[in-house]
């Protein structure tokens, strides 16, 4: 049973903390021998009291507010260092929680200050289907959304309760990107990730801002008009892209794709890519053939970084640091592991990629996030702390 918890339940996150290293005690990074040329980092607690936080976002509206998504169905606001007492949104009655289900992310469109609406991804009660929906901010209070203003954009049935993906993010092209896991169980038994007719095991790209109802298909999507392919697909061959992000400096897309029983991986899609990458699951896990079986990697896009389960069990994708406060972090992609609490840095060096362990913590890391200034944050799922990443 413990192995099953690690391979399946810890394939993104679990309500009960059972993975090695996940005690959830607030902690500064433990000392690690950071290689020459890499920065030392520390963590500073910014706020606490969040309940099972799984996503951190900002609205890009100049307010400086930080929005913290709680898995059970609430979004809380951190405003000038103070957690507001009333939630920004509470849709707990609509969803299934917890395990790998619940309210999983929020995304604010470009021009949110004038538009006053935003998007969420949650798993619906009672059937556990993925729902992407739009909500509006209340007319009289910018810190409270209208819970009855829901407009459903997309609904995707889920065959199992795990590997729901859940990430929403607007790209530099102003389209909405959606991370979808392979549908769950173990080993992708339904073959969804490699099935071009399924939205599962993919990153999707849709147009939700041009007025087409419920959404439009960007004409540049790679499989528009291709027989057998859903036109929403931007990339395929993903097991559970729990957290991905765009580098605000370059537009590159970084994907943390959770592995099965052996390997965790980071994939990178360069800015300007036409899309259509196949990241290999379940033909491959990481840079090797899945379960050691013979496979043909031709046409597949391999990860730029991997680590095995001696170092953790569930990758949590992060952000490239683009703030001004800590020049030593500039251009470094920060990511971590849910189970072990380790935090790594990743950066490109010529044609290769270098990575280094920067911190060894006792945090249960479900998400990283960034504020309007490009500072990077990390949460502790177990005790509800929000911490800022610093560099001396």
Tally the residues of the chain. Answer: 392
Mean per-residue pLDDT, 174-199: 98
**Coil, helix or strand at residue 373:** coil
| Cβ-contact 382, 24 below 8 angstroms | yes
Burial 166-201 (b: 16+ CB within 10 A, else e): bbbbbeeeebbbbbbbbbbebbbebebbbbeebbbb
The span from the CA of 215 to the CA of 335, in Å, is 31
Contacts of 280 (CB under 8 A, 6+ apart): 237, 297, 300, 301, 302
Phi/psi for 385 (5° steps) reads -85, 145
Give the pLDDT confidence score for residue 28 in this predicted structure. 60
Q: In what order do the strands lie in the sheet with 352-360?
A: 315-320, 333-337, 342-349, 352-360
For residue 25, pLDDT beyond 90: no
Q: Is 237 left (phi over 0), alpha (psi -120 to 50) or beta?
A: left
Domain limits of the chain? 2-390
Give the pLDDT confidence score for residue 392 in this predicted structure. 83
Residue 229 C-beta-side C-alpha neighbours within 13 Å = 18
For residue 213, pLDDT beyond 80: yes
> Measured in whole angstroms, how far is the alpha carbon of residue 154 from the centre of its chain?
18
Residue 346 C-beta-side C-alpha neighbours within 13 Å = 25
Mean per-residue pLDDT, 143-160: 98
Confidence of residue 87 (pLDDT cuts 50, 70, 90): very high
Please write the tens of the pLDDT for every residue from 124-136: 999 999 999 999 9
Give 358: exposed, middle or buried? Use CB within 10 Å, 0-12, 13-18, 19+. Answer: buried
Please write the tens of the pLDDT for every residue from 219-254: 999 999 999 999 999 999 999 999 999 999 999 999
Q: What percent of the chain has pLDDT over 90?
A: 90
**Coil, helix or strand at residue 175:** coil
Report the topology of domain 2-390. Answer: Neuraminidase (2.120.10)
């Amino acid at each position: 049973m413990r192995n099953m918890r690690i391979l399946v339940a810890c394939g993104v996150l679990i309500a009960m903390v059972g993975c090695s290293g996940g005690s959830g005690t607030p902690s500064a990074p433990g000392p690690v021998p950071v290689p020459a040329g890499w920065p030392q980092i520390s963590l500073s607690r910014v706020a606490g009291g969040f309940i099972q936080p799984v996503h951190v976002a900002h609205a890009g509206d100049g307010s400086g507010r930080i929005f913290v998504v709680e898995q059970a169905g609430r979004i809380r606001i951190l405003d000038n260092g103070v957690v507001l007492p009333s939630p920004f949104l509470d849709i707990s009655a609509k969803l299934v929680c917890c395990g790998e289900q619940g309210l999983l992310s929020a995304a604010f469109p470009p021009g949110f200050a004038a538009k006053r609406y935003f998007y969420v991804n949650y798993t619906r009660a009672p059937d556990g289907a993925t729902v992407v929906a739009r909500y509006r901010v209340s007319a009289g209070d910018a810190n409270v959304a209208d819970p009855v203003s829901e407009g459903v954009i997309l609904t995707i049935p889920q065959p199992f309760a795990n590997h729901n993906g859940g990430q929403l993010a607007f790209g530099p092209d102003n389209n909405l990107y959606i991370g979808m896991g392979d549908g769950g169980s173990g080993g992708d038994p339904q073959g969804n990730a490699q099935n071009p007719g399924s939205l599962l095991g993919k990153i999707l790209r849709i147009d939700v801002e041009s007025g087409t109802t419920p959404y439009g298909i960007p004409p540049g999507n790679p499989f528009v008009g291709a027989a057998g392919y859903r036109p929403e697909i931007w990339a395929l061959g993903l097991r559970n892209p729990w957290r991905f992000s765009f580098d605000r400096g370059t537009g590159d897309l970084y994907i943390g794709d959770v592995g099965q029983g052996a390997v965790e991986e980071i994939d990178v899609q360069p800015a300007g890519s036409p899309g259509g990458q196949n990241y290999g699951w379940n033909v491959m896990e990481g840079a090797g053939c899945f379960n050691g079986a013979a496979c043909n990697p031709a046409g597949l896009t391999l990860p730029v970084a991997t680590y095995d389960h001696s170092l953790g069990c569930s990758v949590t994708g992060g952000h490239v640091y683009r703030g001004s406060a800590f020049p030593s972090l500039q251009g470094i992609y920060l990511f971590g592991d849910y189970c072990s609490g380790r935090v790594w840095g990743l950066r490109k060096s010529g044609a290769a990629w270098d990575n280094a362990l920067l911190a060894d913590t006792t945090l249960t890391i479900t998400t990283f996030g960034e504020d309007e200034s490009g500072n990077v944050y990390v949460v502790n799922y177990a005790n509800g702390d929000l911490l800022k990443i610093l560099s001396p």
